[in-house]
Structures are given as C-alpha cells and as structure tokens.
C-alpha cells in the first residue's frame, strides 16, 4: 500500500491536507492508480474518501481538469459510505499510501520524522566540494537541509522547490534565523528557472534523469552533487549515477547503514 517510509502517523492528518498539494503531485497520483492498486485496494479507498470529502474531489477536478474522467472513475468504483469509522479507515489508507507527499504539508515535522534529515551530518556535504564563496543551487530543496548547510560557507544559495508549503517553510526559517544569502524560487528539476552557466555547485538529494538540465545551469569546472542524507536502510550503488559519470563516495551512516553520495565535475567546451 505504501512506500513504508514511516515518516508520518496518518491518523494525525486530516484528509483536507490534499487541498495543500500541488498540481504535479495530484497528477502523479491520478496517473499512478494502477501502480497503487498493485499494492492494495487503493482505488476503492480513494473513492470512499473522495465521496466523503467533496471539497477535495472538487479540488482534484479543478486543479487537474484533464483527469476529471479518472476522478469520476475512482468515485464510481466505491460506495458513498455514511459510517464515519469506515470513511476514516479509507482516508488513513490513502494518507499512508502517499506519506511522502503528505508530510510536505507539515514540513515542520520533517526534521524529526524523516531519517534522511534527522540522521544526517552536514559535514558529509562539505566533504564533497569547497563551498567557500561559491554560488550554489539546491534542486528540489525540500525543507532546506542542504541549502541551510551550504549557506554557512557559500556566497549565495538558490533553492528550486516546486512545493509551496516547503518554499514557505524555508522562507520562514530564513526570516527567523536572519539569513541573508538564501534565495527561494519555484521550479521543477527538468526546467530550472536559471540561465546557462550560472552556478559553481548544483546539488540535490538524489541523482535524476535531469542531469543534462543540472549541467546546463552549472559553470564549467563546477560540481554536480547528490547528497541524499542518512537512511534507516542500506543504500546500494546507484547504477544511473554511475552511468551519468558520477563518482560514488561512501560512508557508514549514523544509523549504521551504508550510504552513498555522488559527485561529478562539469567540463564544457569553450
């Protein structure tokens, strides 16, 4: 049913948290109904939950109108229950199945709930490159784990984060801590809102297929860095990272598990 990340207690979340989600998150859920159904009876439970939460149904249909037919199919596959306990069980099932999206609606919980943040030591980032006086981009910044660490040494740090609740969390933290060298922006990893050859370091929490886009905005001689944080599970070498020419850097994490980071220096023709 879920990715079993154990980042949230779904019973502590309202189903209305879906009203805080972005279009790309909702679209991904609706595109992946068959995948979720392979893990359990996802469509039925989502149908029960949407029937009981017309505001969320309306939001899905208007945020992603191209998927209105999918929403209608999901709803028609389940009864309109009146038993509040049965409805809540369906809601909890769905909340647990997308816990990685759900926790983004409460980013203040991430530092204590997410293993990749709470077990991580920022020295693991500084071992990968010299950040002193550099201009840095953090792609998919999340709650700002990498960005706030880099800002201690870098001249400027730019975050590209597509989730509004996370952007606002970073902005609030910047204000609270009086930080002056972090800039927050909206942006997807496959379409970064910056010109070519802008950054000395482009970093992220995991290597993706958007390596060409990361390379585009990185200066020649600069670094691409993947620093995923610590994990409660052993990591294996990422074959995609190796394929893209990244150098793996290993350490034993704070939970006693294997952790791999990756870096690649960018060289461009004159």
Residue 170 lies in a domain: yes
Q: What is the pLDDT of residue 270?
A: 79
Mean pLDDT of 112-120: 96
Measured CA to CA in angstroms, residue 165 lies from 104, 162, 193, 260 at distances of 7, 9, 19, 29
Indicate whether 131 and 261 sit together in one domain.
yes
Instruction: Indicate whether 183 and 62 sit together in one domain.
Output: no
Cα angle 88, 92, 97; round to 5: 150
Residue 191 inside a domain? The answer is: yes
- For residue 2, is pLDDT > 60? no
Residue 148 burial by Cβ neighbours in a 10 Å radius (0-12, 13-18, 19+): buried
39, 70, 105 - which closes a domain: 105
Same domain, 208 and 240: yes
Task: Note the pLDDT tens digit of each residue in 42-64.
Answer: 999 999 999 999 999 999 999 99
Choose one of 53, 78, 105: the last residue of a domain. Answer: 105
Give a yes or no: residue 3 inside a domain: no
1 has pLDDT over 60 = no
| pLDDT for residue 4 | 74
Instruction: With respect to residue 5, please indicate whether it lies within any of the assigned structural domains.
Output: no
- Taken in order 63, 65, 66, 67, is the CA torsion positive or negative? positive
Is residue 39 very low, low, confident or very high in pLDDT (cuts 50, 70, 90)? Answer: confident
User: Are residue 168 and residue 97 in the same domain, yes or no?
Assistant: no
Q: Are residues 77 and 40 in the same domain?
A: yes
pLDDT in tens, 204-251: 997 677 899 999 999 999 999 999 999 999 999 999 899 999 999 999
The answer, yes or no, to whether residue 93 has pLDDT greater than 50, is yes
Report whether 226 contacts 204 (CB < 8 A).
yes
Closest to 68 (Cα-Cα) out of 55, 59, 81: 59
**In which domain, by residue range, is 49 found?**
10-105
Kindly state the percentage of the chain with pLDDT values over 90. 92
Report yes or no: 266 and 223 within 8 Å, Cβ to Cβ. yes
Under the banding of pLDDT at 50, 70 and 90, the label for residue 259 is very high
Domain tally, the chain: 2
Model confidence pLDDT, tens digit, residues 159-211? 999 999 999 999 999 999 999 999 999 999 999 999 999 999 999 997 677 89
Residue 143 lies inside a defined structural domain of this protein: yes
Same domain, 178 and 223: yes
DSSP letters spanning 206-222: S--TTHHHHHHHEEEEE
Do 128 and 16 fall into the same domain?
no
> Based on the domain organization, do 144 and 91 belong to the same domain?
no
- Helix and strand element counts for the chain (H, E): 14, 7
Residue 1 counted as domain residue: no
**Residue 24, Cα to own-chain centre: how many angstroms?**
12
DSSP assignment letter at 188 = B
| Statement to judge: residues 136 and 223 lie in one domain | yes
Q: What is the mean pLDDT of the chain?
A: 95
Q: Over 60: is that where the pLDDT of 31 sits?
A: yes
Q: Looking at per-residue confidence, does 270 or 184 come out higher?
A: 184
Residue where one domain finishes, among candidates 71, 105, 139: 105
Under 8 Å between Cβ of 188 and 153: no
Per-residue CA distances from 159 to 101, 201, 239, 252 (Å): 19, 12, 27, 28
pTM score, two decimals? 0.93
CATH number at residue 143: 3.40.50.150
């Amino acid at each position: 049913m879920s990715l079993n990340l154990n980042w949230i207690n779904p019973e502590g979340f309202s189903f209305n948290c879906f009203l805080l989600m972005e279009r790309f998150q909702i679209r991904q859920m609706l595109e992946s109904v068959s995948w979720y159904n392979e893990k359990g009876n996802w469509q039925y439970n989502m149908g029960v939950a949407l029937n009981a939460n017309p505001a969320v149904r309306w939001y899905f249909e208007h945020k992603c109108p191209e998927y209105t037919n999918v929403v209608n199919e999901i709803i028609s596959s389940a009864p309109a229950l009146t038993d509040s306990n049965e409805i809540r069980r369906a809601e909890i099932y769905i909340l647990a199945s997308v816990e990685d999206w759900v926790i983004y609606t409460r980013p203040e919980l991430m530092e204590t709930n997410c293993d990749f943040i709470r077990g991580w030591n920022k020295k693991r980032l500084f071992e990968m490159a010299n950040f002193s006086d550099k201009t840095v981009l953090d792609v998919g910044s999340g709650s700002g784990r990498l960005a706030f660490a880099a800002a201690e040494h870098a001249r400027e740090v730019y975050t590209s984060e597509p989730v509004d609740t996370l952007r606002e969390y970073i902005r609030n933290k910047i204000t609270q801590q009086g930080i002056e060298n972090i800039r927050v922006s909206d942006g997807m990893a496959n379409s970064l809102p910056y010109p070519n050859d802008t950054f000395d370091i482009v970093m992220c929490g995991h290597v993706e297929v958007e390596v060409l886009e990361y390379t585009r905005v990185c200066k020649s001689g600069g670094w691409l860095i993947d620093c995923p944080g610590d994990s409660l599970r052993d990591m294996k070498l990422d074959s995609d990272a190796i394929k893209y020419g990244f150098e793996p850097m290993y350490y034993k994490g704070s939970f006693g598990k294997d952790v791999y980071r990756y870096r690649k220096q960018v060289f461009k023709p004159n």
